[in-house]
């Protein structure tokens, strides 16, 4: 029996489907379906049981025989201002599961976040590089510190994966927190153009750059550590490449143009024709925005992971075609 928390969410649902592809059916899916539309992410998956998060926590001792817990459940809204809610939902929830898995020797793989790095210029799994800019990043940062102290006390797998900018299928329920690729796809279909942020903080228009990682690659990392009993550590879950938002916009537009038999255009022509446009950088994000992220993959590679990550051009094109086929 494998337990997946946040199982109806973006990464959790993709994990459930990946486990199904391996032949796993004895899966306990844990989530809060207050936003019921997330159920669609699991409608084509096979699970053994579904539990609401609060029921799961109240019955936790019944799952001492679990073979692993893949903990994806969290509030991932970087604009959430209710710190008490964030800490209860992210930090305390994770602490309960950490204590439980340690007591019963259950492998525990959980979702951390590149938000712990905040305003840092280096993205290495080291305390000196961790400067969260919002309470979401702080909730992940604080739990990572506990995990670092717990490594020596845990005999079973204990792994945190610091997700960088994840995009891909089954994220539509995330609304404003869905990826730039998702929003760009919908903008172009509705309005005939894609909007990005104008220049700010020394960055030219659309040139803010992040480590964008396709959800399939994130799933591959979870499965890599699931298959390696006794592995400990916190690892960056990123490609090791920073690419500008302009690359996403250009790939979205050109992929949709190709589906209509239209030629690919360079960014300059997309801008000149108004197919890519720029909006003023929001005041609300100034001082709270990561203009650059790029995972250092050294520790991940040292853990034996030789997975080859998709580029933005490869991954976004795959995702846009997936969305268009279902539009």
What tokens does 1 get?
């029996």
| Strand bridging mode 243-244 / 209-210 | antiparallel
d(CA 70, CA 111): 8
User: Across the chain, how many H-helices and E-strands are there?
Assistant: 11, 13
Q: Is 138 considered catalytic here?
A: no
Catalytic residue among 50, 85, 91, 174: 174
Are residues 246 and 197 in contact, defined by beta-carbon separation less than 8 angstroms?
no
Catalytic residue among 136, 138, 163, 167: 136
Are residues 192 and 75 in contact, defined by beta-carbon separation less than 8 angstroms?
no
- Cβ neighbours, 10 Å, residue 136: 23
SS3 59: coil
The H-or-E segment that residue 91 falls in is none
What tokens does 41 get?
């992410």
d(CA 263, CA 260): 9
The H-or-E segment that residue 180 falls in is helix 180-191
Q: Is 289 considered catalytic here?
A: no
SS3 236: strand
Please choose, from the candidates 122, 111, 133, 123, the residue with its C-alpha nearest in 3D space to the C-alpha of residue 290: 133
What tokens does 128 get?
């000196």
What tokens does 229 get?
């009993």
Are residues 186 and 199 in contact, defined by beta-carbon separation less than 8 angstroms?
no
Active site residues: 136, 174
């Amino acid at each position: 029996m494998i337990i997946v928390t946040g199982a109806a969410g973006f990464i959790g649902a993709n994990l459930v489907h990946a486990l199904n592809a391996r032949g796993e059916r004895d899966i306990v899916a844990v989530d809060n379906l207050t936003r019921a539309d997330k159920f669609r992410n699991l409608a084509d998956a096979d699970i053994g049981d579904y539990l609401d998060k609060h029921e799961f926590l109240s019955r936790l001792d019944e799952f001492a025989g679990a073979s692993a817990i893949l903990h994806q459940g969290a509030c991932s809204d970087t604009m959430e201002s209710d710190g008490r809610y964030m800490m209860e939902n992210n930090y305390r929830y994770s602490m309960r599961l950490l204590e439980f898995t340690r007591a019963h020797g259950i492998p525990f793989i959980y979702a951390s976040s590149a938000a712990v790095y905040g305003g840092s210029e280096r993205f290495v799994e080291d305390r000196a590089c961790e400067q969260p800019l919002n309470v979401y990043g702080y909730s992940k940062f604080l739990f990572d510190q506990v995990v670092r102290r717990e490594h020596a006390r845990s005999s079973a797998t204990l792994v945190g994966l610091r997700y960088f900018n994840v995009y891909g299928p089954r994220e539509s329920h995330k609304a404003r927190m869905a990826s730039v690729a998702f929003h760009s796809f919908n903008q172009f279909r509705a309005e005939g153009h894609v909007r990005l942020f104008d220049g700010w903080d020394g960055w030219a228009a659309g040139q803010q750059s992040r480590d964008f990682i396709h959800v399939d690659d994130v799933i591959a990392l979870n499965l890599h550590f699931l298959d390696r009993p006794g592995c400990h550590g916190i690892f960056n879950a990123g490609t090791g490449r920073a690419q500008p938002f302009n690359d996403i916009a250009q790939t979205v537009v050109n992929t949709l143009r190709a589906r209509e038999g239209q030629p690919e255009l360079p960014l300059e022509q997309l801008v000149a024709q108004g197919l890519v446009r720029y909006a003023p950088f929001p005041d609300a994000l100034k001082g709270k925005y990561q203009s650059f992220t790029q995972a250092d993959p050294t520790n991940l590679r040292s853990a034996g992971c030789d997975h080859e990550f998709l580029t933005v051009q490869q991954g976004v094109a795959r995702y846009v075609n997936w969305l268009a086929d279902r539009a």
